[in-house]
Amino acid sequence: NLSLKLTAKNYFLWRIQIVPFFRGQKLLSFVDGSKPCPPDPISINGHNDPQPNPTASIWKGEDQLLLSLLISPLSEDVIPVVVGLNISHAVWSALESAFASPSNTRVLHLHMQMQCNNSRNRLICY
């Protein structure tokens, strides 16, 4: 059960919860980048035109499910870190870059506080 939402302050606790789940489901290789998408399209003997790679299609479907699992426990203040990213490895890497280093987490938190303080008319302050 993945009950902990990821915030700007609890990355390590969230990671402790989610990594064993991904490992147990044999999905960690998607997020850590060790199982990249197979090439698509591919050349098949006897065909002049490249053909769609069924393995790539399966990988993309699995990765999109995993992407959904990764994004769903993100709090509103974390979602901007991953906006526009469309594969699970890219989301995982962005989260790790933003939150894995205690100094990065502190800088991000201070930046969010400054945004709130500098813009009193904002509806959402972090």
Mean per-residue pLDDT of the chain: 84
Task: State yes or no: pLDDT of 120 exceeds 60.
Answer: no
Query: What percent of the chain lies above the pLDDT cut of 70?
Result: 77
Distances in Å between the alpha carbon of 48 and those of 42, 55, 56? 11, 20, 20
User: Hey, what long-range contacts does 85-93 have (CB within 8 A, 24 or more apart)?
Assistant: 87/37, 87/63, 88/30, 88/31, 88/63, 89/30, 89/31, 89/32, 89/33, 89/36, 91/31, 91/67, 92/31, 92/32, 92/33, 93/33
Higher per-residue pLDDT: 94 or 105: 94
29: CB partners within 8 A, 6+ apart:
35
- Specify the length of the chain in residues: 126
Q: Where are the domains of the chain?
A: 10-100
At 126 the pLDDT is 41
Q: Could you identify the residue written with the tokens 């399966």? A: 58
Residue 28 is predicted with a pLDDT of: 95
